[in-house]
Amino acid sequence: MSRRPSLSILAAMLVSFTQIITIALLYISVDWYTDHAELSAIETLPDDARSAWISLNRGELPDTKALAALVDLYPQLEERTEEAPIVGVLGFGLALIIFTSVIGVLLAYRIVAPLTRLTAAAEQIRQGNFHVDVEPGATKEVEALAATINRMASELLALETRLKFNSRAVAHELRTPLTVLQGNLQAMVDGVLEASEERVRALLLQTQSMSRVVDQLNTLSLAGTTNFITATTMTDLALHVSDTISLFQASAGTSIDCRMHLLPAPAKIDPPRIRQALLALLENARRYAGDFGPIEVRTGVDEAGQSFISVTDHGPGLPSDVERSSFDMFWRSEALTDPGLGGSGLGLTVVKAIAEGHNARFEVGNGSNKGAYAKIVFQAVE
């Protein structure tokens, strides 16, 4: 917790300090000026009148002639001594106002100086320089604002880095199939290669690969918007999972063994998006663990009353850094990378975005025995 005072307290302290200093200095100055004016007035009296004044102040009886001289000059002496406080208040008051104003300006400058640094930092961020680090000021508000600007700059820098990486990754993902397409089509045009059905089908696979990447990028671009989850309905997850697995099994062929353990699991979902997420998980399991045994898909309700979908394989499992990096766009584990696998690195990112669009929790990890699992846990139905 910050020990710095708030801006309101600091401003109140500044005002109180200047007022106290002004009043104290004014009192001392006027008191001194009044005594000085009185002594100066006495010094201007004739000797006999001055001696009578001194005798009276000592409690002694002055000489008759000296007292008479003092009585004649007393009205003038009284007038001068009465004017002294007024002149002192006006003169010293004006001087002290100027003096304390200068002090107040200097102190106020020290208070607002951090705001100038914050303004400069915000301007640097506006110009695209996210390498800023603002020092906290003297108040809690300025400290909180500085911390917010530092966090914002750090997040923008990370976002800029991620954006540059994603742009390069997209170019890399599309460059290979485009190069293959361009080279083969050019060879066919030049008559070097024959435009056989087999070659055309191979080129079609390249276009399908590019189409999958574009579709996944489009899905991620919609994540968090109102157009992402368009229509939700209360339904049983088991029904949609069964239909999706049948579709996947038909397209993957008999080489993939999908086993279903489906129990009723009521949830409010956008069915097309959930099918998209499940297909991504199944494709991920097929690509990395399809040769190691069956892929098991489960639905049901856990002890907390939350419906779930889980996909479990019997493959090599996930590497240790999966929880930190596997949801990043275009992430591929070096331990699982194989030129023949051909993944885009977007599958888990898409699934996570779809889960979050349903206010659901997406979990991945390794099973207790062998293989990896991915699980989407939905909020409990009220």
Give the three-state DSSP class for 321.
coil
Domains of the chain: 7-127 (no CATH), 141-222 (1.10.287), 233-377 (3.30.565.10)
- Listed as ranges, residues in the chain with pLDDT below 50 are 1, 323-327, 329-343
Residues 260, 241 contacting (CB under 8 angstroms): yes
pLDDT (0 to 100) of residue 1:
47
In the chain, what's the furthest Cα-to-Cα distance?
A: 145
* Predicted local distance difference test score (pLDDT) of residue 366: 85
Structure confidence at residue 345 (pLDDT): 56
Rounded to an integer, what distance in angstroms lies between the CA atom of residue 377 and that of residue 361? 5
Residue 182, SS3? helix
The residues, any chain, with a CB within 8 Å of residue 113's CB and separated by 6 or more, are 137
Q: What is the pLDDT of residue 238?
A: 93
Among residues 227, 15, 223, the alpha carbon closest in space to that of 104 is found at 15
Tokens of 80: 């001068």
Burial of 285 (0-12, 13-18, 19+ CB in 10 A): buried
* pTM, entire model: 0.53
SS3 228: coil
pLDDT tens-digit profile of 117-161? 888 888 888 888 888 888 876 677 777 888 888 888 888 888 787
Distance separating the N- and C-terminal Cα atoms of the chain: 39
- Give the total residue count for the chain: 382
Q: What is the pLDDT of residues 39-96, one digit of tens each?
A: 676 667 677 766 776 776 677 777 777 667 666 666 766 666 666 666 666 776 777 7
Q: 180: which residues sit within 8 A by CB, 6+ positions away? A: 203, 206
Q: Residue 357 corresponds to which tokens in the numbers above?
A: 């669009």
